[in-house]
Amino acid sequence: MSSALQEQPHEEVAESKSGYAVIAPGHTFASVTDKIASIVLRKRTPFGWFIGVAIGFMIVQMLMLALTWLLLRGTGIWGINVPVGWGFAIINFVWWIGIGHAGTLISAILLLFRQDWRTSINRFAEAMTLFAVACAGIFPLMHTGRPWLAYWMFPYPNTMGLWPQFRSPLIWDVFAVSTYASVSAMFWFVGLIPDLATFRDRAKNRFVRMIYGLGAMGWRGSARHWHRYETAYLILAGLSTPLVLSVHTIVSFDFAVSIVPGWHATIFPPYFVAGAIYAGFAMVLTLLIPIRKFYGLEDFITMRHIHNCAKVMLATGLIVFYGYVMEAFFGWYSANTYERYMIYNRMTGPYAFVYWLLIMCNGVVPQLLWSYRVRENLLALFGIAMVVNVGMWLERFVIVVTSLHRDYLPSSWGNYMPTIWDWATFVGTIGLFITLIFVFLRLLPMISIFEVRTLLPEAQVREETMPTTTTVAPAPAAGD
């Protein structure tokens, strides 16, 4: 081992070019494992965790009540009507799918680009993706009116010769979202395997060891295991990367392939993808900032992670705001009476307040992120992230409602007003999301143990001094 490597301080290894540490100095393999594993394997669950689960579970009961009443009475309990056949169901579907994009971006794309700042937040973001997709799936399923016949949307041999209408963008949604969910779940589980083995080896309860052992699938940390793991992880990252672009692009086709003014636009695919990443990183910051403080993870989720998430939000927010400006420009430049009226109606019509509030939330407030002081202020960042969450929901409301409630024929015009059951279903899915997040935090490692250990000087020294002809793990075996 060279003396230069031995004398290299932790700060030089752990810090980026911007001066923010990826991991606080002074940690070893053992301290990283102890800190992250103790959150799950501790005997006493923090009282605050019970409060969070209780709040989330109470809100979930609202969802159960709303869905039960929906199945008994039908979609007539919602505010949808003849001009606005798409209401809260599609608004919330697109909103939840967008939130899930940050997890795949952080996990897959940043992995392929070898960005080491992803390692402390990728596991949490991946879990957020799965839970957001689960919440999103509820809305189109119930919006069909006959959710018990949802299997009709999948092509399978049957005696009646029924097949999906593949020219319908709603069928494209089924395949895109189901593929996204399945690949994201596999990517998340494969990344968990080494950490599940660590939990298996450290758990004192026999039943707990058995459960984590089943998830670890016989992992022993051998060179062969690491080689196969890294191969599978890279393949899944390669599969996940185009999904970041394709899923919300296909969701945008629900609108773009129509002839409705305000929807029939080629800008929708990139506009929707940028908006999805924007909303996803806003939700990452919304959850990450309080969880980081509550569990004392400042050493692993450092200000470098917070700054980078804020910068991605700023960049994608500018793209989204550019989309708003271009929509208005296209309406004017098209010389199409209907397109011009659609933009005019958004700005001055019955829902003008929603439109200008959307511009404030997504276009004006995020410009504060240019300031270094704002990015350093966690309370301000949390507030901006919450504003963006609201703004992205308002964007989906404006896109869906203002394009439908006044179309080509004035005789068919009408307004849309969500009912209490619309709100109960939406708020109930937020409760489901919160509950799933808290259950995840209690049962599984929210931070990837082995990936964080690769950032330590010990791991880098080992990698430098190992023979190049041997395939080795980037960190010690699971039980170390």
Rounded Cα distance between 55 and 160, Å, is: 47
Element (H, E) at 24: none
- The Cα 209–Cα 186 span in angstroms is 22
**pLDDT score at 459:** 66
For 15, phi then psi, to 5°, come to -105, 150
CA–CA separation, 176 and 69 (whole Å): 29
Domain total in the chain: 1
Q: Residue 477: its pLDDT value, please?
A: 46
Model pLDDT, residue 5: 35
pLDDT of residue 279: 92
Q: What is the 3-state secondary structure (H, E, C) of 290-339?
A: HHHHHCCCCCCCCHHHHHHHHHHHHHHHHHHHHHHHHHHHHHHHCCCHHH
How is residue 144 written in tokens?
């069909």
Residues 68 and 425 sit within 8 Å (Cβ to Cβ): no
- What amino acid occupies position 142? M
Tell me if 365 sits within 8 A of 384, measured CB to CB: yes
DSSP category for residue 469? T
Q: Which domain holds residue 237?
A: 17-154+164-465
Q: Which amino acid would we find at residue 347?
A: M
Q: What is the pLDDT of residue 462?
A: 55
Tell me if 284 is assigned to some domain: yes
Is residue 480 included in any domain, yes or no?
Answer: no
Sorted by sequence, the CB contacts under 8 Å of residue 54 that are 6+ apart come out as: none
101 SS3 class: helix
CB 302 within 8 A of CB 21: yes
Which residue ranges of the chain lie beneath pLDDT 50?
1-18, 467-480
Tell me what pLDDT residue 362 has: 93
Token duo for residue 382:
């949390």
**CA–CA separation, 390 and 258 (whole Å):** 27
Cβ 283 vs Cβ 385: under 8 Å: yes
In a domain, 474, yes or no: no
Between helices 88-99 and 378-404, what is the axis angle to 10°? 140
* Rama region for 81: left / alpha / beta (φ>0; ψ in -120 to 50; rest): beta
- Give the pLDDT confidence score for residue 1 in this predicted structure: 36
Which amino acid, residue 434?
A: I
Residue 9 placed within a domain: no
Residue 52 lies in a domain: yes
| Residue 151 confidence (pLDDT) | 85
Residue 475 lies in a domain: no
3-state SS assignment for residue 262: coil
Domain contains 471: no
Please give the Cα distance from 370 to 461 (Å, whole number): 37
pLDDT of residue 19: 57
In a domain, 341, yes or no: yes
For residue 366, the model assigns a pLDDT of 94
